[in-house]
């Protein structure tokens, strides 16, 4: 590693990489349903809820998850479709070594900034991530933390109170902890080669390596699920919110694409032979574009152009399922459950009926909902307007989502 690499400029719009540590066995939380990161809270695995937040954040780039060598199937089952959106590495014997291995997986091309987060902190939020990212400098890390509120006692060898410890200036550390990439990797590598394996978090390694770390306000909600009681309380919190105070929302989406010369169209994820194709920057899947807008509408997250501007060349020709899956992650990151998706395709041709089952199957996988919660219909425009003249295809989509609500005033 060169000095130039270590001190590269940290542009404000750089994507920030993430290492999520999920290789622990979690013995203190019990093993009935596997390690604690795979236990279910509010009907979903802890690690799936953690991934939702980072995958939905617009500043986050590549994500590496360090898992135990025995947990590949557990992770894929827990993460579902999101398993293909991250890189997994086999973690080490300690948290410290798992982080080091995750960092090594990001070396080429290396990010300028990195966040390290515990998989068992599923209540991290976007605002906390933003605060941490903003405090990372070229040679400075960032640590979210809360001032210690409890009175602290040091125990004597006899099991009695030895002394009362002043809590002035003491903070309880949280994750994600943020660092410039090359300096923190170098610190981890140096500690590894020297056989120093007793660091309990990355800020401690940074301190040892003389990397200054700025404290930013943590969040009282950003708890670490350590004990079986923590898992139970998190489950009650999520399940109770969902059961007793539902917040049902409906979003609508509309899209239209013109025909151009071609030999097929893509509708709701299915390629259908046709004597024309739809014009668009991506694969021009008008049904999925409308559905993306409908999902985004349920949580006030703008529209498809906000997240995937057509002026950005990286979206040229891509499959539109990327847009739908992104919108679904945003919904889930806000605690939403997709209850229903309804799409109406308006066209004179091609015929949609023979492909409805395949479309339903694809959407079921995209949204992680059962097939009976998906409706795909088609109608003509009775030869009227641009659709009637077979100049293009339009689509209308409606999505119903249930969010955790607040207690009515």
Question: Strand 392-404 relative to strand 246-261: parallel, antiparallel, unpaired?
Answer: antiparallel
380 known member of a binding site: yes
Residues 335, 368 contacting (CB under 8 angstroms): no
244 known member of a binding site: no
382 known member of a binding site: yes
264 known member of a binding site: no
What pairs with residue 277 in β-bridges?
A: 260
381 known member of a binding site: yes
- Nearest-angstrom CA–CA distance, 78 and 84: 12
CA-CA-CA-CA torsion sign (38, 44, 50, 52): positive
379 known member of a binding site: yes
At which residue do the structure tokens 């209850």 appear? 339
304 known member of a binding site: yes
B/e letters for 280-316, b = 16+ CB within 10 Å, e = fewer, are bebbbbbbbbbbbbbbbbbbebebbeebbeeeeeebe
Residue of 369, 376, 381 lying closest to 355 (CA atoms): 376
357 known member of a binding site: no
Residues 16, 44 contacting (CB under 8 angstroms): no
Cis peptide before 109 (omega within 30 of 0): yes
211 known member of a binding site: no
281 known member of a binding site: yes
Please give the DSSP secondary-structure letter assigned to residue 292: H
What pairs with residue 377 in β-bridges?
A: 344
44 known member of a binding site: no
Contacts of residue 66, Cβ cutoff 8 Å, sequence gap at least 6: 19, 20, 21, 22, 23, 88, 89, 90, 91, 92, 98, 99, 101, 102
235 known member of a binding site: no
282 known member of a binding site: yes
Can you tell me whether residue 72 is helix, strand or coil? helix
Q: Binding site: which residues?
A: 255-257, 281-282, 289, 303-305, 379-382, 386, 389
Write out the binding residues for a divalent metal cation.
Answer: 255, 257, 289
């Amino acid at each position: 590693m060169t000095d130039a690499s270590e001190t590269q400029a940290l542009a404000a719009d750089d994507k920030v990489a993430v290492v999520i540590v999920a290789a622990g066995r979690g013995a203190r939380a019990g093993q009935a349903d596997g390690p604690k990161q795979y236990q279910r809270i509010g009907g979903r695995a802890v690690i799936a809820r953690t991934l939702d937040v980072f995958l939905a954040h617009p500043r986050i780039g590549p994500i590496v998850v360090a898992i135990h060598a025995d947990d590949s199937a557990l992770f894929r089952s827990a993460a579902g479709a999101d398993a293909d959106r991250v890189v997994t590495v086999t973690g080490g014997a300690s948290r410290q070594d798992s982080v080091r291995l995750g960092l090594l997986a990001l070396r080429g091309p290396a990010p300028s900034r990195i966040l390290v987060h515990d998989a068992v902190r599923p209540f991290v939020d976007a605002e906390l991530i933003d605060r941490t990212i903003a405090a990372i400098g070229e040679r400075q890390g960032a640590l979210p933390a809360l001032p210690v509120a409890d009175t602290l006692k040091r125990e004597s060898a006899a099991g009695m109170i030895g002394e009362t410890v002043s809590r002035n200036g003491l903070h309880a550390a949280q994750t994600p902890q943020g660092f410039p990439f090359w300096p923190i990797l170098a610190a981890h590598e140096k500690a590894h080669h020297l056989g120093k394996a007793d660091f309990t978090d990355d800020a401690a390694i940074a301190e040892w390596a003389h990397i200054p770390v700025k404290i930013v306000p943590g969040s009282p909600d950003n708890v670490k699920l350590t004990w079986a009681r923590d898992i139970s309380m998190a489950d009650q919190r999520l399940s109770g919110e969902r059961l007793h105070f539902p917040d049902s929302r409906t979003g609508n989406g509309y899209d239209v694409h013109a025909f151009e010369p071609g030999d097929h169209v893509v509708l709701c994820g299915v390629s259908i032979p046709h004597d024309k194709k739809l014009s668009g920057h991506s694969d021009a899947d008008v049904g999925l574009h409308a559905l993306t807008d409908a999902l985004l509408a349920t949580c006030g997250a703008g529209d498809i152009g906000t997240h995937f501007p057509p002026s950005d060349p990286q979206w040229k020709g891509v499959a539109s399922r990327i847009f739908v899956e992104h919108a679904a992650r945003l919904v889930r990151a806000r605690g939403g459950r997709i209850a229903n998706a309804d799409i109406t395709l308006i066209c004179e041709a091609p015929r949609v009926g023979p492909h409805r089952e395949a479309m339903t199957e694809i959407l079921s996988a995209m949204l992680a909902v059962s097939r009976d919660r998906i409706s795909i219909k088609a109608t003509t425009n009775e030869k009227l307007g641009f659709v009637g003249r077979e100049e293009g295809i339009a689509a209308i989509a409606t999505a119903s989502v249930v969010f955790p609500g607040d207690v009515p005033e």
